[in-house]
Chains A and B, each alone.
Chain A
Amino acid sequence: MADHAPHSDAHDGHDHAAHAEHTHHPNYVKIWAILLGLLVVSVAGPFVGIKAVTLITAFGVAIVKAYLVVKNFMHIDLAAKVVTYLVLTMVLFMLLFFAGTAPDVMESHGSNWTKPSWVAGTAHPAAPAAGHGHEEKH
């Protein structure tokens, strides 16, 4: 079967040629060139030697690159809205996981608990209780 589902869900059922006539494609080569330019920026960032610049050029640029791929190569804006909601929900789950777990991992003290000093990395390796005496390098 040569049936093919085109980008836009509104156009499902049309044949390839008919679809190709009225679907506007971005210039994929141009998008690819922009992505490569952003790659150069992310590699060059650390050479500036400023931590904030490195963070922006590394992770800020990564977010921009991901957006360009999702929008122009995956055509998420042309898919049914449920796809966008689905993806955003999963990203939200990811952020919830981070928010719920980070206090345990990144903080040494909380409202109702304290982290053993050897876990927090603030104590000498000799501090752990018997059976947990190995020092873990990070």
Chain B
Amino acid sequence: MSAGASRPIATGRSATGMPTGRLGVWWVIASEIVIFGGLLGSYVMYRLAHDAFAEQAAHTNTWIGAFNTFVLLTSSLSAVLAHTAAEEGNGRKAARFLYYTMAGGAVFIIVKAFEWTNEIQHGFTIASSTFWSFYYTAAGIHAAHVIAGVIIMGIVAQTAKKNLELQRVELIGLYWHFVDIVWIFLFPLLYIAK
């Protein structure tokens, strides 16, 4: 087997001139844009057509949303610092920054769990109204992406720690930044526009 044939497909170059792994992640992100875009676009239509949405949105806690935004923005910083460390060939440092990012994701989910528990206890469930259906669906799908990102990041960090497969650090970082961007738009829609 030639040396080229033994290379993982993710590091081979695609017809576009970029590593296949990176192209694959950008395809995932492109697909996610229409998934979240459809959801958020529908929300905007209803929000503009029905003032009652604003009344329901008044029950969401802006400070919790802002705190979670701070957490995700900070986790994006550590993700990009992990990428820089991987570029320098420092796998241990990259893994450490990935662990920080994972911690940010965990904090985000824990805060969200408390937030939802409080809202459900106050009677705001997914079946309460169209607003709350959107709220739990959009934030829930986003939270599922955060959880998936944390799990994948854990796997990437394990190999990065051994200075292996460092190209993956960039790839999981791209995904994580996209998840951050989705929240950047969810935050004003669900917590600010009241």
Contact = CB atoms under 8 A, between A and B. Distances in A.
Interface residues of B, number: 72
Contact of A73 (B38, B56, B79, B86): B79
A58 to B, nearest CB: 4
B42 A1 contact: no
A20 B45 contact: no
Interface string A89-106: 111011001100110011
A108 B21 CA distance: 47
A97 B70 contact: no
Contact of B49 (A3, A5, A12, A106): A106
B87 A20 contact: yes
Most buried by A among B52, B86, B87, B167: B87
A18 B89 CA distance: 10
Contact of A97 (B18, B37, B192): B37
A15 interface: yes
Given A59-B188, A69-B180, A4 B87 contact: yes
A98 B44 contact: yes
Contacts of B77: 28-29, 31-32, 73
Contact of B8 (A1, A17, A23): A1
Interface residues of A, number: 62
Contacts of A72: 80
Contact of A66 (B19, B69, B184): B184
Contacts of B21: 5
A2 B184 contact: no
Interface of A: 1-7, 9, 12, 15-17, 19-20, 23, 25, 28-29, 31-32, 35-36, 39, 42-43, 45-46, 54-55, 57-59, 61-62, 65-66, 69-70, 72-74, 79-80, 82-83, 86-87, 89-91, 93-94, 97-98, 101-102, 105-106, 121, 136-138
Interface of B: 7-8, 11, 13, 16-19, 21-23, 26-27, 29-31, 33-34, 37-38, 41-42, 44-46, 48-50, 52-53, 56, 62, 66, 69-70, 73-74, 76-77, 79-81, 84, 86-89, 91, 128-131, 163-167, 169-170, 173-174, 177-178, 180-181, 184-185, 187-188, 192-194
